[in-house]
Amino acid sequence: MVENSDSMLRVFWPNNLTRTTSPGVIVGWRNSSFDLFVITVLEDVESRSVESALRVGTLFRNSPYPVARIFQLCDQPNMHVLGTLNHPSPTETFDPTRVCAFTLSGSRRPFIYCPPDAALAVQIVLFDPPNPTQMQYMSLEPISLALGKDYWPPSETDYMPDEVEVQEEKERQRTAELVAKLRFHTVVRHAPTKKELALPAIVRQINCAQEVADLLQKNTPLVGPRRKRSLSVSERVVESAQSLYAFAAWSLWTLFMAYAFPFLLYIFRIAIIGHRIVAEGLLQILEWPLPIKKIRLPESRRPIRGAVALKDISACCQQVHLRLQQFSYYPTQYSLLRRRKATWSSFPTTNSDYIRFYNSLWLVANDVIIGIALGSFISDNSQATSQLIGGVLNEYTIEGLKRMIRWLMSYPGGLKLNTELAAFLGDLFLWVIEYWSSTIFLLILPRLPTIVYVIGCSSFAGASMPIAIFSDLLSLLTIHIYSFYVASARIFNWQLTIIVSLFHLFRGKKRNVLRNRIDNCDYDLDQLLLGTILFTLLFFLLPTVVVFYLTFASARMAIITLKATLDTCLACLNHFPLFALMLRMKDSQRLPGGIHFQLLDTERSKLPFSDETGHQENQGDTADDDSNDEGERESFATSVAYIRLTSTPLALRQIFEQYFQLWARIHQHYLSPKVVFRLLTGRFVPPLGRSEMYGLQYSVLPRERATVSEVWKSLNEIEPVAASDGVANARGSKSYLGAHGRAIGKQWK
């Protein structure tokens, strides 16, 4: 045993045991001589009988699962009798391993007898034992709603960050290294005590307390002498009638489970495997590498790895890929949840999978319901919807852009621009718009009602499908604006770079690219004169180029904002923690975020049985006798410190942690000072990778999906769980009965 060195008796006491005032025996774990964990109180039994029953195993009979797993989980080889509750008289010698506790009517706190000469401080930790059948448990660490570092996508298909993101990542790593070095220079280092080291085991004991207490209370009648009354004639008649009905029901259930149920189960498994094969074929098509290289910035020195697949360039394909991944993972996830019924509920190993599984099912159901309503509306109003989309497309991407360019070709806002350069750039952009508009009017607008009807039909697969299709259509129908932005940004960046170089030449300096600095340089007179002329010419042409660049950059940013809004809607439909929020409001103990100790108060109480001691036999009317009796009562006073142990629910900030990470990623990519500087200088700002946006939605999926053989194996593993609980059928086998057949069979026996 681990001895306590701080002279404190610590007792963990369930709150549901403070309601009884009858005498009983306290049973629980003994972590050390001064560290006791109370599980339950057995009433109307003797301590010797309980000790004998614990040694023999009588109190663990009819256990649904091996009791050894509970002992292994709680890090204890056996269970002990810790003392008595509400005993008529205390023991003559105080023993911390056999406490004497009592409860008072109307009080919600127990009291521990500890004489002052024991030199021990008593500390009672009150807690509410979680109900494991309702998946309640306590944990030192917050529950994880994702799969950690093993979530999709793999590193080969990740979007490669640009130079700005690489520098920021290096800065974060440098800061983390400095913080790690700072921890080695701590002046005072606190070594964990034995009680702190025992805290994880105590938390596991708290999680097991309810199930073990129910098992002990169920077997309490087996302890000590037992009397069994014979049944009366009327009771025998009722039992015979119930037995005949149970035999008929058991026979029908046996026939169904022996012949019909195996065939239906086999057909269902074949259907799941067929769906898995079709899904695997579609996933291979969506993941097939295309002969397209990833976008690489000219100034980026990072190598480009991996290839671009169809799911990386299309939001619709990405959504289909996500749904197929979820449907492929459901059989394996369900078989994993089925295994939790083959052991004690106190093992909270699958609670996170349970939340992720039902949250995904709930989101898919909501997505389909919203999609059916949206698809019905779009299909019934396809003509009006197509006219609205065509009008908006023509107004903002063609006619509105033409008016804006013609306005820039004149004097926009009274700004004097270069007439010839503005006319050249405007005519060039207008010619591209005319060609694009003719293509749109010939190919897209006549078929727009059909496209809208197809989008409405796709809504029956979920509201996320039309949103993803609309995101792809937005990218395709605004590709000319993207081309204008790239061309104007490149022209503006080239002109700005030349102006900066000519400005250095005008000052008699040059840039040393090898040393990355500005050096002095001697130029000839002709070079200075030509440089001055070119600098003046380009500087006065700069406002015209800036106006066109800002126009198309603003249009591009507006399109990116709209696409980010659509991607956010997809993220909410695919990954919103709806089930976790429901559990947070309904039963917060199913979402533990840690534990909390709260000091209530310290009470000094007198035992109610102090008046029954031998010191009261010689009572007199003198003051000396009264003072002697009063002092004797004071010797039985006990000082107890009460602490409440509660489970801290998972905070809302932790539930939406991945959304905060996504927002930080978007903020880092688009709103950082370096990215704004790149935008102002005309350098290319690539869009945020689709893998980064969808990384949130893939966080509940494994990194590598299960193969068809693994899915078949997991489906076949479900049968032994139910088959082990059955009883013998007509052919002598023990399978295909299930829990209901077992109950009916036991009742017939």
pLDDT over 80 at 380, yes or no: yes
Distances in Å between the Cα of 584 and the Cα atoms of 347, 363, 443, 580, 591 are 21, 17, 52, 6, 7
pLDDT over 70 at 718, yes or no: no
pLDDT over 50 at 75, yes or no: yes
pLDDT digits (tens, 9 = 90+) for 12-52: 999 888 676 778 899 999 888 888 999 999 988 888 888 88
Q: Tell me the C-alpha distance between 716 and 269, whole Å.
A: 9
| pLDDT confidence of residue 65 | 87
pLDDT over 80 at 408, yes or no: yes
Q: Where are the domains of the chain?
A: 8-129+595-615+622-647, 377-576
| pLDDT confidence of residue 38 | 92
Nearest-5° Cα angle at 124, 123 to 128: 150
| pLDDT confidence of residue 602 | 66
3-class secondary structure for 614-660? Answer: HHHCCCCCCHHHHHHHHHHHHHCEEEEEEEEEEEEECCHHHHCHHHH
Contacts of 70 (CB under 8 A, 6+ apart): 208, 211, 212, 344, 346
| pLDDT (mean) for 651-666 | 84
Nearest-5° Cα angle at 332, 326 to 338: 125
Tell me the sheet residues that pair with 111.
Answer: 102
Tell me the sheet residues that pair with 511.
Answer: 518
pLDDT digits (tens, 9 = 90+) for 133-149: 888 889 988 888 876 54
pLDDT over 50 at 619, yes or no: no
pLDDT over 80 at 631, yes or no: no
Q: What tokens appear for 329 in the block?
A: 């993972």
Q: Tell me the C-alpha distance between 701 and 328, whole Å.
A: 10
**Residue 589: CA count within 13 A, CB half-sphere:** 17
At 678, which amino acid appears?
R
The candidate with the shortest Cα–Cα distance to 36, out of 195, 218, 207, 223, is 195
Q: What tokens appear for 534 in the block?
A: 């070119």
| pLDDT confidence of residue 372 | 93
- pTM for the whole thing? 0.76
pLDDT over 80 at 353, yes or no: yes
Residue 92: pLDDT band by 50, 70, 90 thresholds? Answer: low
pLDDT digits (tens, 9 = 90+) for 683-716: 877 777 666 667 777 878 887 888 888 888 888 8
Phi, psi of 71 (to 5 degrees): -65, -40
Could you give the percent of the chain with pLDDT greater than 90?
17
CB 571 within 8 A of CB 662: yes
130 exposed, middle or buried (CB, 10 Å; 0-12, 13-18, 19+)? Answer: buried
| pLDDT confidence of residue 89 | 67
Q: What tokens appear for 571 in the block?
A: 């993220």
pLDDT digits (tens, 9 = 90+) for 242-260: 677 777 887 888 888 888 8
The neighbour count for residue 231, using CB atoms within 10 Å, is 11
Q: Tell me the C-alpha distance between 542 and 545, whole Å.
A: 5
pLDDT digits (tens, 9 = 90+) for 566-616: 888 888 898 888 899 999 998 888 899 899 988 887 665 555 444 444 443
Nearest-5° Cα angle at 85, 80 to 88: 130
Q: What mean pLDDT is reported for the chain?
A: 78
